[in-house]
Amino acid sequence: MTGITTTSEKRLIVASGRAHPDLAHEIVDVLGVDLVPMDAYDFANGEIYVRFGESVRGCDAFVIQSHTTPINHWLMEQLIMVDALKRASAKRITVIAPFYPYARQDKKHRGREPISGRLVSDLYRTAGAHRLMAVDLHTAQIQGFFDGPVDHLWALPLLAEHVRKRVDRARLTVVSPDAGRVRVADLWSDRLGAPLAIIHKRRDPSVPNMVKVHEVVGQVAGRTCLLVDDMIDTGGTIVAAAEALRENGADDVLVAATHAVLSGPAVDRLKNSLISEVIVTNTLPIDPERSFPQLTVLSIAPMIARAIREVFDDGSVTSLFDGNA
């Protein structure tokens, strides 16, 4: 079957873009439904065509897309899918963007810059989305960009449970890789009952994506250190932080991050680093050639499926995380 129908004829459908079909299939398997059939392809000039293979009139539609490379292509495909659902008379449309596109462009640092994260929210709304669901937004203020309900899901419970089984918490120190992630690291510290350390770093403005670490604030000598962040992009910050922790006497260094962007040299950097395990979720696809021995990938699908069920049943998405984060 392709949807769930209640006695009041309320109907749920899940549609997926082409960026990360494995995640979408995991989600619908948990929900016990099928993905709505859809034709999607690219014209020779790069334009995207989408058409749903069955009626969606009056349905509660959830549109999943993981914004991996090429991010602009997959964003456009999701917008077109939302527009198609709106024009086919879907009753409510929820955009699911596990990795929210342009999240790092959430404010102006200098004059004449865009706020691209806000632009993306406006595009979703204009296309016809009524609701937005995302996992671990880069900054909380992005929730205010969208003119409608936003469900902000947290991967912390999933990741922390893995860490809890992996390490001796009596010897664990949670580490923020920079001052900007202290609030997230503090949540981890509370969750695991571990002390907090902070790495003070400064970027070299003349070399993009290069970081020079200055000092470690907190007790890390002789301890297992857990570096936490929302994403790993090129890996420069995390690898430099791990080196600083080792130089300050850490016995072991692990990394936990929600989004494995893994751009450019990231895989080589992490594979050849002093990090014993890199724990991430599957919000983004990780091709086999980008895997490496220290990488552990946990599935975010059950959490997204539960959130979809709560939204569809007019329940509470917040209740999924009460007492967890």
Which residues are identified as catalytic? 201
Token reading at 314: 């007019």
Whether the CB-CB separation of 95 and 126 falls below 8 Å is answered with no
**3 state DSSP class of 189:** helix
Q: Three-class SS of residue 196?
A: strand
Count of CA atoms in the C-beta half-sphere (13 A) of 321? 19
Enumerate the β-bridge partners of residue 39: 51
Is residue 70 reached through a cis peptide bond, with omega within 30 degrees of 0 on the bond before it? Answer: yes
Two tokens at 15?
Answer: 């549609």
**204 is written with which tokens?**
């070299």
Amino acid at 89: S
Q: How far apart are CA 178 and CA 197, in angstroms?
A: 10
Q: Is 27:12 a contact under the CB 8 Å cutoff?
A: no
Assess contact for 32 and 4: CB atoms under 8 A. yes
Rounded Cα distance, 64 and 249, in Å:
44
| Backbone conformation region of residue 73, classed left if phi is above 0, alpha if psi is from -120 to 50, else beta | alpha
